[in-house]
């Protein structure tokens, strides 16, 4: 192996390329920036209006919750967490994955990330912001959420530092600020490209202001690289810490089925798994809607499918470990919860979850599945559903079947639970629909870099100009 | 480093043989002590060959400069996995003196666990499967076609087998204690040990290669520390007797000091590897690798020996020296300097 | 070039200053890299390049000094960690000691998450500020934007700038050298 070995940067599995051979720097800028400047088509307007309507549903569901209280939900005195915390964990999982994917792929020099990192990070921001709502919404008195914040107050109280709920506040707040900085920094050079391409004064002013005067000088690039890589290196432990804290929300307690040492790492893997599935779910329509087939290629989907496969195996191994060790050295309640999982009130959902999260992704062992866009899209959506079910069932199984048999009760969601879930899905999509028209959905400067690396392989740098 | 080892091979073999003979003599007087020591040494040294095999699979799947650089040593280490069946046979023979559940069926939490899982026959049967799979992963020749597919299958099989091996071989030393992340900790410990060992032996050609390897050691070290800490934090928070007891046994009688040293060594390696300059330097990376190996050794000691009441210091030391010297010496005989075949697999 | 207001021709800049230098356009990253190496070899010291993506090895080719960004981030991270830890220890042990499930007042294991989050938050924030200051941002307008064709520096062209204050600088000699290195359009640099 000669050339490919010398340039791991552009090394692509199974000889695939992530860019067309005839791409030039100019065509990259033109194609990626096009959706920002072109007038919106019917597809975009349809998506905009539909998601706007769903956003209104979310706002209404939240307002009604504030007026009436958590009694409008299906939660009861035993199953106190229900949909709200399910949604929280699900959204924060998706919100973790974008940054994790983006930085891990950067650190491992998988340059193909250039095509997906921008919208993966946007996904992170939106999902994390939505996730942050739920812990507040699920409080009986949401207007007192600021009691988690340490500040000198007339009650002379401090937060309980040994509580994962306080860790949660710190983790989420740090994470949202961090992700915003990471995403925005990566965006600065592209905003400068937009500033220089804008034809209207308004566009020039807005993009110019957000580009902060970026000139692309070697000094700036050097600092950009130093900062961006350092952020990527910090992002990995940060994301892991954040989702571990989410896992600890469960594991630090004493409930049977939650007191598991594997919860922190397994929540992290679950986040990565569902997040990757969400990236795929978003990549397909973005690619189609923005005509980015050139930049998001079958090779990308192939690579992501392999990661989903790996994730599904780890998830499966984790489930099996839990079952086995509950039997092996669990107490009575833990054994009973495991039994309840597999054959109790929610067993059909549990088996459906196993089908979606563990069994179906095994189809990715076959190259044909990995190369079929519709198959990947379908499986990715089912994984999203499966991971949502997983979080729901972690909550329901334990709370419905905890230590006291007198407090065994089932949970059923109400229309307001569904409205809030649907509404947040709509709001998330709404933010995304706006995002793809406001900034380039793919990182232009990194795709240029990828093109450069690819051309180096063919020893033909000039074709790009 | 490789050359140094090759020159010292004779000395290693002699030292290993002397330690083995001493251990065997000791076994005549104190069979339990020798068997307990041997289990510890087995768990320590086994990590490197099987971890090497896993690293090779990972590299086949993902590529990367680190793997190309380390492959010769990794291949040599992985090829010695079957060697470890020998000490393992002695451990099975001495199982009754090592594992509480083997001598006493009521040592487990549940009767059906003793009957259905934690018994010597089941243990031996599962070990047979584990060894078959590991020999297949580590030492069996592979078709060059569909290399990635085989690597993927190999990793999945490793994930399953290590989950069983970690429970059977070390977690079950405290039969009432269980931690769901224990197998993951064991697996990442094996990978980290193999990586540090290979980085120590392989002369790295370029700064880029060194940086790649050093970065990976750093990531593995952090992963190991993270998983270990999370296990502690969850158990500390829950404070349930059956789970917390495991840690209680490990803060008394000076054991906290051992773990403290392990943490110090790990922290020192972390601080070294944090600097990019150090990650590009072969010497700094080697120093960090030594610290990582020391940390893993001390941590293994801290994890295992408090559950081995029969273990005697002389047996632990002799067995560790014996197995280590013989393994490195024998492996070096087969393998170092790097075989052409190993290079060819790049 | 967009129709932004005419910039002042001379301005105190972080990248430029003094008599006017030259700015040469190249069509590829490799050509720019090669030219940078040659200019350095020819004795030029005050060079700057503008590229549409981060070109590996360019900073070294131009002889730029390494940045102090990462040490600053590390330091800020340590400060953040200490701030987080001392906040917890002070409030839980000294200001408001309360027995919670028999756990020690200084529950160091439970203090780790907040300490860590604070470290990362401080490091990231400090890094962003140091990055902006070091890169001379924000600075919405810069004289270099007035160079004809410079808008392609964020698109598909690579520029090499030689400061007029460079001791080796000679308008005609430098221009000749740049042409020999394969430069396309060569413009006067502002300042």
C26: β partners:
C158
Q: How far apart are CA A132 and CA A173, in angstroms?
A: 8
Could you tell me if A213 and A191 are in contact, meaning their C-beta atoms sit under 8 angstroms apart? no
Residues in chain B: 346
What mean pLDDT do residues A340-368 have? 92
Question: What are A21's two structure tokens?
Answer: 């051979």
Residue B162: pLDDT band with limits 50, 70, 90: very high
Residue A2 lies in a domain: no
Half-sphere exposure (Cβ direction) of C181: Cα atoms closer than 13 Å: 29
A196-205, A351-360, B200-209, C48-57 — which is least confidently predicted?
B200-209
What mean pLDDT do residues A176-185 have? 90
| Partner-chain contact A217 C73, CB within 8 Å | no
| Partner-chain contact B233 C70, CB within 8 Å | no
* DSSP helix/strand/coil, C49: strand
Angle between helices B120-139 and B31-62 (to 10 degrees): 40
Name the residue among C88, C113, C124 with its Cβ closest to that of A181.
Answer: C124
Residue B161 is predicted with a pLDDT of 93
Closest-CA residue of B relative to A14 is: B148
Report which of residues B160 and B201 the model is more confident about.
Answer: B160
Q: How far apart are CA A353 and CA A347, in angstroms?
A: 10
Residues of A in contact with C64 (CB under 8 A): 218-219, 222
* DSSP helix/strand/coil, C24: strand
Min Cα separation B256/chain A (Å): 21
**C68 near B CB under 8 A:** no
DSSP readout, A388-407?
HHHHHHHHHHHHHT-S-GGG
Tell me the residues of chain A between 354 and 373 that have a Cβ less than 8 Å away from chain B: 365
Q: What is the pLDDT of residues B31-80, one digit of tens each?
A: 888 889 999 999 999 999 999 999 999 988 887 788 888 888 888 888 88
Residue A113 is predicted with a pLDDT of 75
Q: How far apart are CA A76 and CA A69, in angstroms?
A: 13
| Partner-chain contact B233 C110, CB within 8 Å | yes
Q: How far apart are CA A99 and CA A272, in angstroms?
A: 10
Please report which helix (H) or strand (E) contains residue C31, including its range: helix C29-41
Name the residue among A156, A196, A219 with its Cβ closest to that of C135.
Answer: A219
Residue A95: pLDDT band with limits 50, 70, 90: confident
Min Cα separation C100/chain A (Å): 8
Cβ neighbours of residue B341 closer than 8 Å, sequence gap 6 or more: B75
Name the residue among B64, B176, B238 with its Cβ closest to that of A108.
Answer: B64
**C54 near B CB under 8 A:** no
Cβ neighbours of residue A445 closer than 8 Å, sequence gap 6 or more: A189, A190, A193, C52, C53, C54
Could you tell me if B316 and B37 are in contact, meaning their C-beta atoms sit under 8 angstroms apart? yes
**C110 near B CB under 8 A:** yes
Cβ neighbours of residue A415 closer than 8 Å, sequence gap 6 or more: none
Could you tell me if A164 and C117 are in contact, meaning their C-beta atoms sit under 8 angstroms apart? no
| Partner-chain contact A217 C28, CB within 8 Å | no
Residue A459 is predicted with a pLDDT of 55
Measured distance between the N- and C-terminal CA atoms of chain C, rounded to whole angstroms: 19
Cβ neighbours of residue B9 closer than 8 Å, sequence gap 6 or more: B329, B332, B333
Residue of C49, C50, C71, C53 lying closest to C130 (CA atoms): C71
Tell me the residues of chain A between 192 and 221 that have a Cβ less than 8 Å away from chain B: none
Q: What is the pLDDT of residues A99-148, one digit of tens each?
A: 887 787 777 777 677 777 888 888 888 998 899 889 889 888 888 888 88
What mean pLDDT do residues C128-154 have? 84
**A464 near C CB under 8 A:** yes
Residue B28: pLDDT band with limits 50, 70, 90: confident
Q: Which of A234, A329, A333, A336 to mutate to test the interface with B (most CBs of B within 10 A)?
A: A329
Residue A239 lies in a domain: yes
How many CB contacts within 8 angstroms connect chain A with chain B?
A: 110
Q: How far apart are CA A86 and CA A80, in angstroms?
A: 11
| Partner-chain contact B184 A265, CB within 8 Å | yes
Residue B31, judged by CB atoms within 10 A of its CB (0-12, 13-18, 19+), counts as middle
Min Cα separation C170/chain A (Å): 23
Share of chain A above pLDDT 90, in %: 33
Report which of residues C119 and A207 the model is more confident about.
Answer: C119
| Partner-chain contact B229 C112, CB within 8 Å | yes
Min Cα separation B180/chain A (Å): 5
Cβ neighbours of residue B189 closer than 8 Å, sequence gap 6 or more: B47, B224, B296, B299, B300
| Partner-chain contact C112 B233, CB within 8 Å | yes
Residues of B in contact with A309 (CB under 8 A): 152
Min Cα separation C80/chain B (Å): 17
Residue A14: pLDDT band with limits 50, 70, 90: very low
Residue A195: pLDDT band with limits 50, 70, 90: confident
For B148, other C-beta atoms within 10 Å of its C-beta total 15
Residues of B in contact with C70 (CB under 8 A): 276
What is the residue extent of each domain of chain C? 21-52+156-189, 69-135
Q: What is the pLDDT of residues B263-283, one digit of tens each?
A: 999 999 999 998 888 888 888
What mean pLDDT do residues A263-275 have? 91
Name the residue among C51, C95, C127 with its Cβ closest to that of A216.
Answer: C51
| Partner-chain contact C111 A161, CB within 8 Å | yes
Strands C186-188 and C22-26: antiparallel
**A262 near B CB under 8 A:** yes
What is the residue extent of each domain of chain B? 2-336
**A218 near C CB under 8 A:** yes
Residue A295 is predicted with a pLDDT of 73
Residue B114: pLDDT band with limits 50, 70, 90: confident
How many CB contacts within 8 angstroms connect chain B with chain C?
A: 13
Residue B333: pLDDT band with limits 50, 70, 90: low
Domains contained in chain A, number = 1
Residue C18: pLDDT band with limits 50, 70, 90: low
Residues of C in contact with A155 (CB under 8 A): none
Q: What is the pLDDT of residues C45-55, one digit of tens each?
A: 788 888 888 88
Residue A21: pLDDT band with limits 50, 70, 90: low
Q: What is the dihedral of CA B69, B71, B72, B77, to 10 degrees?
A: 130
Residue A458 is predicted with a pLDDT of 62
Q: How far apart are CA C1 and CA B325, in angstroms?
A: 72
Strands C47-50 and C158-162: antiparallel
Q: Does domain C21-52+156-189 have CATH number 3.30.70?
A: yes
Residue A166 lies in a domain: yes
Could you tell me if A45 and A457 are in contact, meaning their C-beta atoms sit under 8 angstroms apart? no
The answer on pLDDT for C15 being more than 60 is no
**C78 near B CB under 8 A:** no
**C101 near B CB under 8 A:** yes
Min Cα separation B234/chain C (Å): 10
| Partner-chain contact C138 A465, CB within 8 Å | no
Residues of C in contact with B241 (CB under 8 A): none
Closest-CA residue of C relative to B276 is: C70
| Partner-chain contact C112 B276, CB within 8 Å | no
Report which of residues C188 and C18 the model is more confident about.
Answer: C188
* DSSP helix/strand/coil, C23: strand
Name the residue among B215, B240, B346 with its Cβ closest to that of A259.
Answer: B240
| Partner-chain contact B233 C74, CB within 8 Å | no
Residue B194: pLDDT band with limits 50, 70, 90: very high
Min Cα separation C57/chain B (Å): 13
Chains that touch C (3 or more CB pairs under 8 A): A, B
Which pTM was predicted? 0.87
Residue A283 lies in a domain: yes
Provide the edge-to-edge strand list for the sheet that holds C158-162: C47-50, C158-162, C22-26, C186-188
**B277 near C CB under 8 A:** no
| Partner-chain contact A208 C140, CB within 8 Å | yes
CA angle C84, C87, C92 (to 5 degrees): 125
Name the residue among B183, B222, B233 with its Cβ closest to that of A237.
Answer: B222
Residue A122 lies in a domain: yes
Residue A16 is predicted with a pLDDT of 44
| Partner-chain contact C109 B236, CB within 8 Å | yes
| Partner-chain contact B233 C101, CB within 8 Å | no
| Partner-chain contact A157 C151, CB within 8 Å | no
Chains that touch A (3 or more CB pairs under 8 A): B, C
Residue B233 is predicted with a pLDDT of 93
User: CATH number for the domain including A356?
Assistant: 1.20.1630.10
The answer on pLDDT for A11 being more than 50 is no
Residue of A258, A110, A106, A243 lying closest to A182 (CA atoms): A106
Residues of A in contact with B176 (CB under 8 A): 329
The answer on pLDDT for C9 being more than 80 is no
Q: Which of C67, C68, C109 to mutate to test the interface with B (most CBs of B within 10 A)?
A: C109
């Amino acid at each position: 192996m000669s050339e490919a070995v010398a340039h791991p940067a552009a090394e692509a599995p199974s000889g695939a390329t992530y860019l067309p051979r005839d791409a030039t720097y100019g065509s990259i800028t033109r194609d990626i920036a096009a959706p920002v400047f072109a007038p919106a088509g019917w597809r975009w307007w349809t998506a905009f209006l539909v998601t706007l309507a769903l956003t209104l549903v979310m706002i209404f569901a939240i307002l009604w919750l504030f007026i009436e209280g958590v009694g409008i939900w299906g939660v009861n005195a035993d199953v106190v967490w229900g949909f709200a915390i399910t949604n929280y964990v699900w959204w924060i999982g998706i919100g973790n994955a974008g940054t994790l994917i983006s930085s891990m792929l950067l650190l491992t020099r998988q340059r193909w990330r250039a095509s997906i990192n921008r919208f993966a990070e946007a996904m992170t921001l939106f999902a994390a912001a939505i996730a942050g709502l739920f812990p507040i919404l699920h409080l009986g008195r949401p207007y007192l959420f600021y009691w988690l914040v340490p500040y000198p107050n007339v009650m002379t109280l401090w937060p309980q530092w040994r509580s994962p709920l306080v860790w949660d506040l710190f983790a989420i707040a740090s994470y949202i600020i961090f992700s915003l900085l990471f995403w925005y920094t990566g965006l600065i050079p592209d905003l400068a490209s937009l500033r220089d391409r804008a034809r209207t004064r308004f566009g020039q002013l807005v993009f110019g202001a957000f580009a902060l005067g970026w000139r692309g000088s070697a000094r700036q690039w050097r600092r950009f690289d130093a900062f961006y890589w350092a952020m990527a290196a910090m992002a990995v432990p940060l994301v892991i810490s954040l989702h571990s804290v989410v896992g600890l929300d469960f594991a630090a307690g004493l409930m049977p089925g939650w007191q598991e040492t594997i919860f922190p790492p397994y929540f992290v893997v679950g986040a990565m798994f569902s997040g990757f599935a969400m990236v795929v779910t978003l990549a397909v329509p973005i690619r189609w809607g923005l005509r980015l087939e050139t930049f998001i290629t079958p090779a990308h989907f192939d690579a992501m499918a392999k990661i989903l496969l790996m994730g599904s195996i780890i998830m499966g191994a984790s489930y099996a470990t839990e079952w086995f060790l509950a039997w092996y050295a669990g107490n009575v309640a833990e054994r009973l919860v495991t039994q309840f999982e597999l054959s109790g009130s929610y067993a059909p959902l549990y088996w459906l979850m196993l089908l979606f999260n563990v069994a179906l992704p095994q189809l990715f062992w076959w190259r044909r599945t990995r190369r079929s866009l519709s198959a990947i899209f379908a499986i990715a959506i089912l994984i999203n559903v499966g991971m949502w079910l997983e979080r729901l069932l972690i909550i329901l199984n334990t709370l419905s079947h905890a230590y006291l048999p007198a407090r065994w009760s089932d949970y059923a969601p109400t229309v307001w639970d569904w409205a809030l879930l649907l509404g947040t899905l709509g709001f998330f999509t709404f933010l995304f629909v706006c995002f793809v028209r406001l900034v380039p959905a793919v990182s232009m400067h990194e795709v240029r870099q990828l093109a450069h690396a690819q051309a180096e392989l063919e020893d033909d740098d000039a074709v790009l100009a | 480093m490789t050359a140094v080892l090759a020159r010292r091979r004779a000395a290693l073999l002699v030292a290993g043989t002397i330690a083995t003979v001493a251990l065997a003599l000791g076994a005549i007087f104190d069979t339990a002590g020798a068997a307990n020591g041997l289990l510890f040494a087995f768990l320590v040294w086994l990590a490197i060959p099987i971890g090497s095999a896993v690293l090779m699979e990972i590299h086949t799947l993902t590529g990367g400069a680190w793997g190309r650089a380390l492959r010769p040593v990794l291949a040599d280490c992985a090829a010695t996995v079957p060697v470890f069946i020998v000490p393992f046979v002695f451990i099975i023979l001495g199982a009754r003196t090592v594992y509480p559940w083997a001598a006493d069926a009521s040592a487990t939490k549940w009767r059906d666990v003793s009957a259905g899982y934690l018994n010597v026959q089941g243990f031996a049967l599962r070990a047979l499967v584990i060894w078959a799979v590991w020999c297949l992963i580590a030492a069996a020749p592979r078709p060059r076609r569909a290399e990635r597919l085989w690597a993927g299958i190999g990793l999945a099989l490793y994930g399953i087998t290590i989950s069983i091996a970690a429970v059977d071989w070390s977690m079950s030393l405290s039969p009432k204690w269980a931690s769901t992340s224990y197998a993951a900790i064991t697996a990442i410990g094996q990978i980290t040990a193999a990586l540090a060992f290979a980085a120590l032996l392989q002369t790295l050609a370029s700064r880029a290669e060194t940086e790649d390897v050093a970065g990976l050691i750093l990531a593995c070290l952090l992963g190991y520390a993270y998983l270990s800490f999370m296990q502690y934090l969850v158990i500390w928070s829950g404070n349930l007797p059956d789970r917390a007891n495991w840690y209680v046994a490990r803060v008394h009688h000076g054991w906290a000091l051992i773990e403290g040293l392990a943490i110090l060594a790990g922290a020192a390696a972390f601080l070294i590897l944090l600097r990019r300059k150090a990650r590009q330097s072969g010497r700094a990376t080697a120093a960090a690798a030594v610290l990582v190996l020391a940390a893993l050794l001390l941590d293994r000691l801290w994890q295992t020996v408090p559950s081995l009441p029969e273990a005697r210091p002389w047996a632990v030391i002799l067995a560790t020296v014996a197995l280590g010297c013989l393994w490195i010496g024998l492996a070096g005989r087969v393998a170092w300097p790097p075989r052409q075949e190993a290079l060819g697999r790049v | 070039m967009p129709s932004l207001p005419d910039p002042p021709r001379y301005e105190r800049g972080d990248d430029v200053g003094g008599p006017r230098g030259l700015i040469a356009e190249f069509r590829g990253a490799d050509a720019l890299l090669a030219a940078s190496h040659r200019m350095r070899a020819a004795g030029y010291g005050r060079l700057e390049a503008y590229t549409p993506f981060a070109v590996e090895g360019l900073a070294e080719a131009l002889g730029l000094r390494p940045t102090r960004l990462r040490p600053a981030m590390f330091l800020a991270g340590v400060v953040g960690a200490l701030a987080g830890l001392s906040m917890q220890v002070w409030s839980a042990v000294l200001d408001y000691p309360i027995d919670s499930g028999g756990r020690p007042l200084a529950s160091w294991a439970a203090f780790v998450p907040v300490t860590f989050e604070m470290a990362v938050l401080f490091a990231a924030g400090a890094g962003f500020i140091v990055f902006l200051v070091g890169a001379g941002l924000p600075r919405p307008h810069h004289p270099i934007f007035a160079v004809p064709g410079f808008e392609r520096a964020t698109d598909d062209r690579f520029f090499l700038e030689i400061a007029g204050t460079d001791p080796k600088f000679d308008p005609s000699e430098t221009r000749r050298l740049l042409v020999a290195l394969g430069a396309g359009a060569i413009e006067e640099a502002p300042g």
